[in-house]
Structures are given as structure tokens and as C-alpha cells.
Amino acid sequence: MNATSSGSSTPLREFFRGVSFLFKGFRIWVSAPRLMFLGMIPAAIVGTLSIGLFVALIVAIEPIAEFLTPFADDWDELPRAAVQFAAGLAVIVSSILIIVNAFATVTLMVGDAFYRKIAGHVDSRHGSPATPAPQGFWKDARRGLAEGLRLLFPTVGLALFVFALGFIPIVGTVVAATIGALVGGWLLVVELANIPFESRGMHLTARRRVLRLSRAKSLGFGAATYLVFLIPFGAVIAMPAALAGATLLTRSLLGEDTLVGNTDALAEPAEQPPAS
């Protein structure tokens, strides 16, 4: 099932191959600009709300940090300020993790129809497209909500772990941000791969199993997407490309990527006139 590469591949090389799928996803703008633009609409709606929540968090970060560090109330001003600063930074880093993954989950639910068309377009451009199983809207919505909640619990647990790391002097924030990007990227790729895997009749358990078989490649795609999503409004522009990239990644993992490297095919019009 895993179409991995030759024996000369290393985890680092596979990681960067995973990163490349995000850039290949951006190339889908060439063959389907209107479809990709439509994919930005739900991302813009959810992204605006997400940024609003994050701004509200930043505005209220000082009282939040004070609330989380009652043990420092009797300390001298300098150490109290230092621990409150660390607490505030830890809250921000852990909150980013939750906001990014919640953004992906909610956006995929809101824009389900658009993103299924993007995934279908990618499959059709690369041959042997998957045949979606007949499913109803409410069945898809219930399954998407249930799987989103199942992914939310590890995200919250990771956020708490990242928050705790933020209190480690000097290196804590750097380590917390790095772990957040890597593990958060893993959770993100599991979420983004939902539609292409589901169109092949493979749901959360099977999806995780396949992604784990090429963990470095999957993690490369997820971490790169996570970092792009951190750019203000970058997630809005990148969301359609991320879904396209996740579809290409899915094809690679399932051995369907014989034309993935053919970038010329991405630039061709969607339909070719019959030969005369």
C-alpha cells in the first residue's frame, strides 16, 4: 500500500519530499484557479474568526498570565514579571496549536463541497481517479464531526504539554514551539487527508495507519503546512493548496502517484478537444 521510494531514501529525504507536496498543491492554481478561489471562501470566513479569537487572546494575555501564576504574587517584581511573561508566551504557543488545527477541522466541514471538488480535480488530472462511495450530506457531516472531535482531544493534550514546556527557562519556548510544529503538523495532516482518504472508502483508523507507514513524508507535509498557516491570512490562501497537496500525498502513499512528477500535466486545461 505504501509507495515509498527506493532503498536509498532516508527519513530526512522523505521529510522534504513531504514538504514538496504542499508546493505541488499550490501548482493546482494553474489548472483550476476558479475552483481554488472558491476553496478560499470558507477558509476566509473561518480564518477571520480565528484571527479575531487570537487577537482577543493577545489583548487579554496579561490578566490570563497573572491568573495562571498565583504562586508568584509574593515574589519580587523581576522574577514575578519573568514567570508571568513565560506563562503568557506558553499560553500563546499552545493556543496557536489549537487554533490552527481547529481552523483546519472547521474549514473542511464548512467548505466540504468545495474541497471535495478540489480533491476530485487533482485525482482527475493524475489518472485513475478514485470513485467516491455514495454518501449523504448528513452522514458525511456526522462522521466529519465525530472524527474532528477524536482529533481534538490529542490536540488539547498536546497544547497542555506545550504549555508546560513553556515554563522551562530559556529553551522552553523554543522546544515547545518546535514540538508544536512537528506534532501539530502531524495532527494537521491527519485532518487534511480526510477527504482524499474518505473518497477511497478509508476513514480515520485506516488513514492514520497509512500515514504512519510513511511517517517522515507525512510529517514533512504537515509541518510545512502548519508553518504556512501561522502566517497572518496565509492559511486562507494556503487552505485549497493544502487540500490539493494532501490529495497528492494520499496518491503517493497509496501507490497512485505515477504522474505526480509530471508538472506539465498540472498546467494543461481541464479538458482536451478530441483529436481530429
251: buried, middle or exposed (CB in 10 Å: 19+, 13-18, 0-12)?
buried
CA distance 275 to 175: 58
Evaluate if pTM is beyond 0.85. Answer: no
CA distance 124 to 130: 8
CB contact at 8 A, 184 and 101: yes
User: Nearest Cα to 193, choosing from 121, 119, 141, 135?
Assistant: 119
Residue 26 has a pLDDT of 94
List the chain domain ranges: 11-253
Residue 268 has a pLDDT of 38
Residue 131 has a pLDDT of 56
pLDDT means over runs of 10, the chain (276 residues): 56 94 93 92 94 94 92 86 89 90 90 91 76 55 62 75 78 82 90 90 88 94 94 90 95 74 40 41
CA distance 217 to 239: 19
Is 142 strand, coil or helix? helix
